[in-house]
Amino acid sequence: MKCNDSREGSKIRRQQPLIIAGPCSAESPQQLLSVANELKRNGKVSYMRAGVWKPRTTPNSFEGYGSEALEWLKEVRQETGMPFATEVANEKHVYEALKFGADLLWIGARTVSNPFAVQEIAVALRGVHVPVLVKNPLSPDLKLWEGAINRLRLAGVNEVGAVHRGFTMMNSSPFRNFPMWEVALQLKANNPELMVLSDPSHISGNSAYIEILSRRALSLGFNGLMIEVHPNPQIALSDAKQQITPNQFNSIINSILNKDNTDEDIMAELRTEIDALDEMLVWALSNRMAIATEIAKVKSQTGKAIIQPDRWNDVLAKVIGKGFKMGLRTEFIKNLYNSIHRESLQAQEALANQKNEMMKIG
Ligand SMILES: O=C(O)C(=O)C[C@]1(C(=O)O)C=C[C@@H](O)C=C1
């Protein structure tokens, strides 16, 4: 069953910035009504978001109330006039969400990572006039993200937008996902008409960073924000750490819309990104050292020399070349890598000495 409707919700609201806010998950009619009233009072929110099917990482986590929650959303819209948005991950979700008159749909990062699922959703949306937002896939794969958007466009969905929610990295602390703003900005550059929102709740995974990430997104030219708001985040059934209260939301929106970014705001956000990158660098260095130690064991078994000038020259040439393409000075890369090499040799020698000592004792 398809609903080819002509409600007001079928055209995306074009407020700048477009703000979508609401709980991670629809938990009860009371929760939704309370948030909807607060968002209405705020006056800047175009859609209330609420997940009813939650793709969870581990089994036995709360997976949403499904269609029952769609009924709550529909009733809350009737009562408050607040249009609602929800996530769809398959064909059945699309039919159900449309049956209850969802005003906007979004496709989550995990689903966007799977072209079969996106195609299924695109086919289900054929001939339906409802705006659809496509979150970025888990990995920073711009082609996959654009591919999902194009699948929807080819199916005739003419109101398509995108949501940047950061990318899964081994280590992106202090953020939950690493922003890699440049990927979303490239998407925007390739598709100037596309509405691209940012989702500071999923990027940060932590309510403390919502304001700085929101400021950064708007100053980079994003068209809007998707923010998770819960009446009582501490008892939220999903994503408790990243949801903010309606009061916090009001104060953040008020502040970011009425006060220009100060130098301190900009510094705070940029320093948080540096912290995240430093964590990644240290993680990479530690892994590199662990591999060098493994190589040392092979060398000791085969009697190979610890220092390998030819291999090292190759390593240096590769990183200098890569660094050059990415705007890094040759001298800087040389110094940095020579220091890494010294540490690697030192660790390998320490291991060889340890082995010699053991042999002497033995
Ligand atoms: O490739 C090796 O043989 C290593 O031991 C690794 C490594 C490195 O750290 O990259 C360390 C010492 C060698 O001189 C060359 C490279």
Q: What is the ipTM of this complex?
A: 0.99
Pocket test for ligand 1, best of 307, 312, 340 (most atoms within 8 A of CB): 312
Residue to substitute in 310, 333, 344 for testing ligand 1 pocket (most ligand atoms within 8 angstroms of CB): 344
Q: How far is CA 294 from CA 214, 265, 291, 298, 311, in A?
A: 44, 44, 5, 7, 16
pLDDT tens, position by position, 112-135 = 999 999 999 999 999 888 999 999
Q: Is the CB of 297 under 6 A from ligand 1?
A: no
Q: What is the Cα–Cα distance from 203 to 138, expressed in whole angstroms?
A: 11
Identify which of 315, 333, 340, 349 to mutate to test ligand 1's pocket (most ligand atoms within 8 A of the CB): 315
Per-residue pLDDT of the chain (362 residues; tens, 9 = 90+): 444 444 444 677 767 899 999 999 999 999 999 999 999 999 999 999 999 998 877 888 899 999 999 999 999 999 999 999 999 999 999 999 999 999 999 999 999 999 999 999 999 999 888 999 999 999 999 999 999 999 999 999 989 999 999 999 877 788 999 999 999 999 999 999 999 999 999 999 999 999 999 999 999 999 999 999 999 999 999 999 999 999 999 999 999 998 887 888 888 888 988 988 898 899 999 999 999 999 999 999 999 999 999 999 999 999 999 999 999 999 999 999 999 999 999 999 999 888 888 888 87
> Could you tell me if the CB of 345 is within 6 A of ligand 1?
yes
Where are the domain boundaries for CATH 1.20.59.10 in the chain?
265-361
pLDDT (tens digit per residue) in 11-24: 777 678 999 999 99
Which amino acid is located at 281 in the chain? Answer: L
The segment(s) of the chain belonging to CATH 3.20.20.70 are 8-261
Q: Is 341 in the pocket of ligand 1 (CB under 6 A)?
A: yes
Is any ligand 1 atom within 6 A of the Cβ of residue 295?
A: yes
Ligand 1 near 312 CB (within 6 A): yes
Q: Which atom of ligand 1 is nearest to the CA of 344?
A: 9
DSSP-assigned letters across all residues of 29-45:
HHHHHHHHHHHHHH---
Eight-state DSSP code of residue 234: G
Cis peptide before 140 (omega within 30 of 0): no
Residue 311 Cβ inside 6 Å of ligand 1? The answer reads yes
CATH architecture of structural domain 8-261: Alpha-Beta Barrel (3.20)
Fold of 265-361: Chorismate Mutase Domain, subunit A (1.20.59)
Query: Where are the strands (E) in the chain, listed by range?
Result: 18-22, 47-49, 84-87, 104-107, 132-135, 160-164, 195-198, 224-228
Q: How far is the CA of 317 from the centre of ligand 1 (A)?
A: 14
Ligand 1 center–CA 280 separation, angstroms: 21
Strands 224-228 and 104-107: unpaired
